[in-house]
Amino acid sequence: IFKTIRGYGGSAVCASQDLNDFFNLDEGRFGKGIINNSKTKIILNLEDDEAMRVQSALHLSDAEVMEVTHFERGNGLISTNNNNIMVEFKASPLEKDLITTDRRELKDIVERMRRQNEAG
């Protein structure tokens, strides 16, 4: 379907927390097809075995694989046009409020909104 979408000038987003989702079916044929037809790939922290799969698929150096297996939260690798760059993703306070799933942060947001409504 990714090839078809690209053929019509479209774009698609595909994400997974488990690389095996891409490589288990039909000996990885579909996963390789998705990766090969994706212009931009964002790789976050991976386990060693997952990083080895990504290394061969994206032609990463040993140093890049080492980085990928030791990323802290918020760090990643962007691969596009055969260029790889390490990045740090930073969210603005508003973005963080919109995407957080942390119960304490959500409670603080609700409390802050309640105070704003009472004051305004």
In DSSP notation, 99-115 reads H---HHHHHHHHHHHHH
How far is CA 110 from each of CA 63, 93, 103, 115, rounded to the nearest angstrom?
Answer: 43, 15, 11, 9
Share of the chain above pLDDT 90, in %: 51
Whole-structure pTM value: 0.72
Residues 6+ apart with CB under 8 A from 11: 5
What would the pLDDT profile of 41-85 be if each residue is shown by its tens digit?
999 999 998 888 888 878 899 999 999 999 998 999 999 988 999
Residue 25 in this model has a pLDDT that exceeds 80 = no
Q: What is the pLDDT of residue 93?
A: 93
